[in-house]
Amino acid sequence: MDSPETTTGDPIQKALGSRIRALRKAKGWAQEAFAHQCGMHRGHMGQIERGESNLTLSTLLVIAEKLGTTVADLFEEIA
CATH number of the domain at 11-76, please? Answer: 1.10.260.40
pLDDT tens digits, 36-58: 999 999 999 999 999 999 999 99
Sequence spans of domains, the chain: 11-76
Other beta carbons less than 10 A from residue 12's beta carbon: 12
Contact 71, 60 (CB under 8 A): yes
**Closest by Cα among 20, 35, 32 to 68:** 20
Longest alpha-carbon distance in the chain: 36
pTM, rounded to two decimals: 0.85
Q: Predicted confidence band at 76 (pLDDT cuts at 50, 70, 90)?
A: confident
